[in-house]
Amino acid sequence: MAAAPDRSNNGFKMGMARLHPSLVLSASYDSYAAQLTADKKAGDVILTVLPGAELELSASRVDFNLHGKASYSRYLGVVSSASTDASFVGVDAGLGLKIKATENFSVSLDDSLKRSDQSQAPTLQVGVLSLYNDASLRLTWRPWHGNLSIEPSYHLATEIFSKRSSFDNLTCDEGFGCSGWDVSESNYLDHKAALGVRWGFLPKSAVMLDVSFRARQYLGDNGTDSNSIQASVGIQSVFLPRLTGAASFGWIHELKNVYSSPVARASLSYALTTQSKLTLGYERMLMPTPSVKWTAYSSDRVHLDANFLFAGRFGLDASVSARFLKYLADDDSTKAWELGASLTGTYAILSWLDVKLSYRLAYTDHLAGINDFLRHVVTLSVEIRY
């Protein structure tokens, strides 16, 4: 059996810190790269270069992480020259700082910035670029020898949208991303204050209480401002040496538009080996969404994930999911469902060199006949991270 590559000495040591440069080169085929006419789509081949770097530092009182990646995805126009307009620059950057003031008290500051073609809003999944930033401040206090954890936190998130001209011919019903919209009217700010309490009443079990308040403010006309409060209780436990689970149940109430809904989350993981596991999960939530018509949406999602590692070098990750959506307005609603599947194989040639092949399927069927699409994406990449 081949030995797993040792990655512990990767990076350039700089005092107490390590610097990890990285480079990813990939070639992809996307079956939905452009909307040629109202009912005709086109696929394309995409070449992407993704340089980046990560700085890590860990000391007795401070943990620090700073990473940044900038990508350029070039659409080659193999099927139609219209898809070349979909080329874009992406960003993936983050900052993490944890100050351990005492043995039982710490302060964490985190920030994440992403620019990609994957929006946080299900109503804006096609023909849009998203610039999303999430900054958070979290205090952690662990009295009673760490058995009790109290974590107040504050998040400030914003999402800025821009249009992709390769989808100018996209048409849809009112309420979803349409070619006639100025998508910048959907930009928003999210304020979220939360309190999480966790009590470990047994060595491998804990009960949880989470309370949060969210205020959504839109910077344009494509959205309805909302305030909501949510509370949930839950438990997590190791049932058997290889079986772990967690579950929570609560309620969310939207104060301005008077929506209420149960919320829930559950997961069950089984470790096949020390490096392979299966996870079954379910999540129900209610979230505001940018739209000229819909105020919010409810989501019920179930997923099955499998992660395998063979001989320490070959990793195989598979996932299937189904999600049922219901978009809400004052006097109307519409329903949709989504299917997703992915399969990724990764082979570690050296401690700093991986080759990866992945396939992703996404299918959206809006039951009102809005923005239905089937998408296949195949990607071959070489990843260098020293």
CA dihedral 270, 276, 281, 285 (to 10 degrees): 140
Dihedral sign for Cα 348, 349, 350, 353, please: negative
Structure confidence by residue, pLDDT tens digits, 254-289: 888 778 899 999 999 999 988 899 999 999 999 888
Q: What is the CATH number of the domain that holds 340?
A: 2.40.160
Cβ-contact 33, 46 below 8 angstroms: yes
Question: pLDDT band at residue 172, thresholds of 50, 70 and 90?
Answer: low
Residue 254 included in any domain: yes
pLDDT given at position 293: 76
Residue 340, number of CB atoms within 10 A of its CB: 17
Residue 3 scores a pLDDT above 70: no
Residue 288 lies in a domain: yes
Statement: residue 176 has pLDDT above 60: no
Does 13 fall in a domain? no
- 109 in any annotated domain: yes
- What is the domain range of residue 124? 21-385
Q: How confident is the model over 9-38, as pLDDT tens digits?
A: 788 888 888 999 999 999 999 988 877 666
Does 1 score more than 50 pLDDT? no
Give pLDDT tens digits for 113-152. 999 988 888 777 777 889 999 999 999 999 877 789 999 9
267 is a domain residue: yes
Q: What angle do CA 28, 22, 134 make, to 5 degrees?
A: 80
**Which pLDDT band, with edges at 50, 70 and 90, does 250 fall under?**
very high
Cβ neighbours of residue 316 closer than 8 Å, sequence gap 6 or more: 306, 307, 308, 309, 310, 343, 344, 345, 346
Residue 4 lies in a domain: no
What does the pLDDT look like over 148-165, one tens digit per residue? 999 999 999 999 988 876
Q: Report the pLDDT value the prediction gives residue 333, as an integer from 0 to 100.
A: 79
200 inside domain: yes
Query: If pLDDT is split at 50, 70 and 90, which confidence band does 166 have?
Result: low
The verdict on residue 245 lying in a domain is: yes
Number of folded domains in the chain? 1
CA distance 339 to 260: 26
**pLDDT at site 162:** 87
Q: Whole-model pTM?
A: 0.86
* Mean pLDDT for the chain overall: 87
pLDDT in the model for residue 130: 92
DSSP bridge pairs for 39: none
Query: pLDDT tens-digit profile of 40-96?
Result: 777 889 999 999 999 999 888 999 999 999 999 999 988 877 778 888 999 999 999
Looking at the chain, the whole-number percentage of residues with pLDDT higher than 70 is 90
The Cα–Cα gap between 153 and 17 comes to 28
pLDDT confidence band for 99 (50 / 70 / 90):
very high
Contact 328, 287 (CB under 8 A): no
Contacts of 241 (CB under 8 A, 6+ apart): none
